[in-house]
Amino acid sequence: MPRIFKNEAALTPEYIPGKLPHREEQLKQLEAYFSGFLENPGSMYPKVILIGRPGSGKTVTSRKFGNHAMKLSNMVRYVHVSCFLNRTLSSVLKDIGVQLNIAIPKRGYSTEELLKMLLDMVREKNIYAIVALDDVFHLVNNSGPHALGTLIRLGEEYVSRGDKYRFGIILISQDLSFRDQLDRSSQSSLGNTVIRFEPYTKDQIFEILLVRAQEALIDDAYDEEILEMIADVAGIDEKVLDDHRGDARYAIDILWRASKLAEIKGADRILPEHVREAIKNTLRGIRSDELRMLPLHEKIFLLAIVKSLMKNPNSPYIPFGIAEDEYKMLCEQYNEEPRKHTQLWEYLRDLNLKGFVETRTSSKGMRGRTTLVSIPSEPLMTLDEELRRIIEGELGT
């Protein structure tokens, strides 16, 4: 079989490339804001907010800065916490503890007790850390602004005890709406240091794809026209108003899928038809890695919503009860014990908060008050195939 990849990992969401085209300025700003903390750990408490649309380079820029920071100062650690995965204060504290090699009990302690343990152990081990809270709006939406306010004031806890500043904070979000929910004290403590990430243009997407292709693919497996074809679809265009454009992660996912198709079909290079098929099968507003992170039965319930909508093509919304019935049938198909009605409501609330589904209450024309569910942002067939692939892979079926 002809080879397409030389380093497939370079096309994954977690990969940090050697170069970050068109994010050099944001990297410089991060280095400048944290320079005092890195040169003299504990001397100050830097707090920076990164905002921009999905796929605009916030996460990879923060991670790359974190790697650079640890090379500059062997006293400072970098901790990256996904608030998509860790949506409560206790979960965030435990993840910080794990990444700092601090043993924090998994259960049996209140959040206040966990916080005290973390603070005490950080001081005892003489740790300094930059903590990045990615998708921080999930924490605020799920646990309330108090949870974030507590984390923002982490560094100040030490100074109030006569110690040094132990933390620097990076908050990553799509916009600043989370900040408006904080109380005045937390807003004041957080400050107004914001680094903005604009969506990528077509030319910028092309340069990003070129860097990734050079790291991921065999030289003869692609040409620049293939990368331009993907960039034309993914980059922002003044003539086309589309909130999903400018997303480098989407473009990289298309390149990976096109490369995989070429490999599966035994081709020795990526062809335009591989790209067309990859585009058709690539999610836009919803990320595949986010789908994988959902609990199994939340994935099955989301698949039930998708299938219910596909069975009712003339209606943009379906009643919650129809999705619940479809979920029970899927559980029987997958040989899984269905979760209870109240748990499905929790799943729906969570899916709505994450932006996977939209909900509204039925109009007066329907009997009683019914919750209606829709998925307006994704092609249902593509979402159906992706969910089934992930679920069946998880179940080993």
Contact between residue 148 and residue 140 where contact means Cβ atoms under 8 Å apart = yes
Residue with tokens 């860097």: 211
Quote the distance between the C-alpha of residue 58 and its chain's center: 10
Distance of alpha carbon 210 from alpha carbon 235, whole angstroms: 14
Classify the phi-psi angles of 308: left when phi > 0, otherwise alpha if psi is within -120 to 50, otherwise beta: alpha
Token representation of residue 7: 């380093």
Binding-site members for ATP are 56-60, 200, 212
User: CA nearest 51: which of 178, 150, 145, 241?
Assistant: 178
The strand pairing partners of 242, in sequence order, are none
Token representation of residue 289: 């890695």
Going from the C-alpha of 322 to that of each of 266, 300, 327, 358, 368, the distances in angstroms are: 43, 14, 9, 15, 15
Question: Residues near 359 by Cβ (< 8 Å), separated by ≥ 6?
Answer: 348, 352, 371, 372, 373, 374
Binding-site members are 56-60, 200, 212
Contact between residue 305 and residue 373 where contact means Cβ atoms under 8 Å apart = yes
